[in-house]
C-alpha cells in the first residue's frame, strides 16, 4: 500500500491487524503527509516529535478522562479504576498521589531493590540453562516485574500467577475500540483484584508495623500530603495502576530488546563484545520498539499545533512510537543502533506525568537483558512469535526461543 493510501485508510478507532502487527509504515506516512491527523470522532493523532514535545510541555493539556472514558467504558469498575488512577487525573489530586508514591522510587529504595533484581535474574538464567527451548515471555521476561510489583504491594505467592491476566485485561480497557466482551472482562478483573487489595489494606491497617513486603502499600496507606491521606477507593485503584504501569511495560521492554537483538545479529554481537553498552541498548529499545506506543491529552483551550488550530476539548492521541522515529530528531531512525547517544525518546512520556518508574524500569531492563545475553552463547528463535495485538501497548504473548 502506498503512503497516501495508508493515510487515507487510517482512523484511530478502526485499526487493522496489519497496523497492530507493524504500525511503523503508517506512522511514517502520517508523519510525512498528515502529521496532525483528524479522526472521524473529532480527536487528533499526532506523529511528529516537535508536536508531542509541544503537547507534553503545553499548560493547556489535561489528563482528566472522566468524560471521555465514559463513552467507551460505561460506568462500572473499569471506568472507576482508570478515572481514579493518578495518570488520568490533573492536579491537585494527581500531585498528591504522585508525592505519596514518589517515596517508593527514591535512589535509596532503588538501591535496596537492585540486589533482589540481580538475584531473581541470576536464578532464572541458571534455571533456563538446563532447557533447550523456552518461552521468552512466560519463562523469563514476566518473572522479574511480577516479583518486584508483588513485593511492592505485598501480593502473596498464590495470587502472583493471576497478575498478568489482571494487568492485560485492565489495560485492554484503554484500547481505542473497546468491545463489550473486553469491557466486561475489565470490570471483572478490577472488581476481583480490587477486593483482594482491599483485604491487604485492611490487614495492613491492623498491622502497621509488619515490615518487609508491601512497602509501597504501607507508604500509600499511612502517608500524608498536607494533612490528607488517600481514601480506600483511591488506594485500591492506585495500587491496581501500579501493577499495570510496572508489569506489562517492563516485561515488554525486556522481551522487545531480546527480539530486536535476535533480529539484528550484528547488534547482538556488538553487545556481547561491549557489555558496557547495555544501558544505551535498553534506551534504544525504548525508542525503537517502545512498550507504550500511545499517550493521551485533552485540550483546555484552543492550541496552535505548528500551523493547525486544534479546538478546546479536542482529544489528542500522542503517537510516542512515531515521534521516536522522527528523522527530524533522530538520524537514521529506522535503524536499531545499540550505540545511539544521545537518545531523547518519549518512551516514558514527559512533563508532569513523566513515568515515575523510569529508573526502576531501566534497572530491571539492564539486568534482565544484560544477564540474558551474557548468560547464553547462542540465542535464536525456536518458532513463530505471537503478538498481543494492541495499539497502546506493544509486546508479545509468546516468543519461543532456543538458547544454549
Looking at the Cβ atoms of 119 and 269, the one nearer to ligand HEM is 119
- CA 299 to CA 297: how far, in whole Å? 7
Looking at the Cβ atoms of 6 and 248, the one nearer to ligand HEM is 248
- CA 252 to CA 319: how far, in whole Å? 18
DSSP at 160: G
What is the smallest separation between the CB atom of 101 and ligand HEM, expressed in angstroms? 6
**Total Cβ atoms within 10 A of residue 368:** 28
- The two counts, helices (H) then strands (E), for the chain are 18, 12
Looking at the Cβ atoms of 100 and 128, the one nearer to ligand HEM is 100
What is the smallest separation between the CB atom of 245 and ligand HEM, expressed in angstroms? 4
| Helix or strand holding residue 133 (H, E) | strand 133-135
What is the smallest separation between the CB atom of 284 and ligand HEM, expressed in angstroms? 13
Looking at the Cβ atoms of 135 and 215, the one nearer to ligand HEM is 215
Looking at the Cβ atoms of 99 and 129, the one nearer to ligand HEM is 99
Looking at the Cβ atoms of 87 and 141, the one nearer to ligand HEM is 87
Closest CA relative to residue 166, chosen from 243, 73, 280: 243
Tell me the residue nearest to ligand HEM as measured from the CB: 357
DSSP-based three-state secondary structure for 363: helix
**Total Cβ atoms within 10 A of residue 351:** 14
What is the smallest separation between the CB atom of 377 and ligand HEM, expressed in angstroms? 27
DSSP-based three-state secondary structure for 16: coil
In the block, cell 535512589 appears at 107
What is the smallest separation between the CB atom of 246 and ligand HEM, expressed in angstroms? 3
Closest CA relative to residue 290, chosen from 390, 384, 363, 382: 390
- CA 391 to CA 379: how far, in whole Å? 28
- CA 372 to CA 261: how far, in whole Å? 11
What is the smallest separation between the CB atom of 237 and ligand HEM, expressed in angstroms? 12
For residue 92, whether the previous peptide bond is cis, meaning omega lies within 30 degrees of 0, is: yes
- CA 147 to CA 153: how far, in whole Å? 10
What is the smallest separation between the CB atom of 92 and ligand HEM, expressed in angstroms? 13
Looking at the Cβ atoms of 26 and 256, the one nearer to ligand HEM is 256
What is the smallest separation between the CB atom of 253 and ligand HEM, expressed in angstroms? 4
Residues 6+ apart with CB under 8 A from 314: 42, 43, 44, 298, 299
Task: Tell me which residues touch ligand HEM (CB under 6 A).
Answer: 63, 86-87, 94, 98, 101, 242, 245-246, 249-250, 253, 290-292, 295, 347-349, 353, 355-357, 360-361
| Helix or strand holding residue 310 (H, E) | strand 308-310
Amino acid at each position: 500500500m502506498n503512503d497516501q493510501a495508508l493515510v487515507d485508510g487510517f482512523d484511530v478507532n478502526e485499526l487493522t491487524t496489519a497496523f497492530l502487527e507493524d504500525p511503523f509504515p503508517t506512522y511514517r506516512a502520517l508523519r510525512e503527509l498528515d502529521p496532525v491527523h483528524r479522526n472521524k470522532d473529532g480527536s487528533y493523532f499526532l506523529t511528529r516529535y516537535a508536536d508531542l514535545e509541544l503537547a507534553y510541555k503545553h499548560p493547556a493539556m489535561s489528563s482528566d478522562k472522566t468524560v471521555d472514558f465514559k463513552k467507551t467504558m460505561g460506568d462500572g469498575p473499569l471506568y472507576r479504576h482508570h478515572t481514579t488512577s493518578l495518570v488520568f487525573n490533573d492536579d491537585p489530586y494527581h500531585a498528591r498521589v504522585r508525592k505519596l508514591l514518589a517515596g517508593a522510587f527514591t535512589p535509596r529504595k532503588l538501591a535496596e531493590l537492585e540486589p533482589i533484581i540481580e538475584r531473581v535474574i541470576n536464578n532464572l538464567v541458571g534455571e533456563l540453562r538446563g532447557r533447550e527451548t523456552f518461552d521468552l515471555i512466560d519463562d523469563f521476561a514476566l518473572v522479574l516485574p511480577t516479583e518486584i510489583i508483588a513485593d511492592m504491594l505485598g501480593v502473596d505467592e498464590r495470587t502472583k500467577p493471576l497478575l498478568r491476566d489482571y494487568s492485560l485485561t485492565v489495560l485492554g480497557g484503554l484500547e481505542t475500540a473497546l468491545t463489550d466482551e473486553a469491557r466486561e472482562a475489565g470490570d471483572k478483573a478490577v472488581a476481583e483484584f480490587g477486593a483482594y487489595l482491599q483485604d491487604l489494606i485492611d490487614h495492613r491497617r491492623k498491622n502497621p508495623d509488619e515490615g518487609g513486603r508491601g512497602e509501597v502499600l504501607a507508604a500509600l496507606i499511612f502517608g500524608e500530603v498536607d494533612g490528607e491521606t488517600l481514601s480506600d477507593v483511591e488506594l485500591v485503584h492506585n495500587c491496581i495502576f501500579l501493577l499495570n504501569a510496572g508489569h506489562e511495560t517492563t516485561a515488554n521492554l525486556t522481551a522487545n530488546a531480546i527480539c530486536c537483538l535476535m533480529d539484528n545479529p550484528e547488534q547482538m554481537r556488538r553487545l556481547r563484545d561491549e557489555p558496557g553498552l547495555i544501558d544505551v541498548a535498553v534506551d534504544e529499545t525504548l525508542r525503537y520498539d517502545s512498550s507504550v506506543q500511545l499517550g493521551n491529552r485533552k485540550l483546555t483551550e484552543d492550541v496552535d499545533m505548528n500551523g493547525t488550530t486544534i479546538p478546546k476539548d479536542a482529544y489528542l492521541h500522542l503517537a510516542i512510537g512515531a515521534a521516536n522515529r522522527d528523522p527530524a530528531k533522530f538520524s537514521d531512525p529506522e535503524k536499531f543502533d545499540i550505540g545511539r547517544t544521545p537518545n531523547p525518546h518519549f518512551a516514558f512520556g514527559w512533563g508532569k506525568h513523566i513515568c515515575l518508574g523510569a529508573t526502576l524500569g531501566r534497572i530491571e531492563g539492564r539486568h534482565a537483558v544484560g544477564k540474558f545475553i551474557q548468560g547464553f552463547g547462542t540465542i535464536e528463535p525456536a518458532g513463530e512469535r505471537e503478538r498481543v495485538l494492541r495499539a497502546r501497548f506493544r509486546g508479545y504473548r509468546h516468543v519461543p526461543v532456543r538458547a544454549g
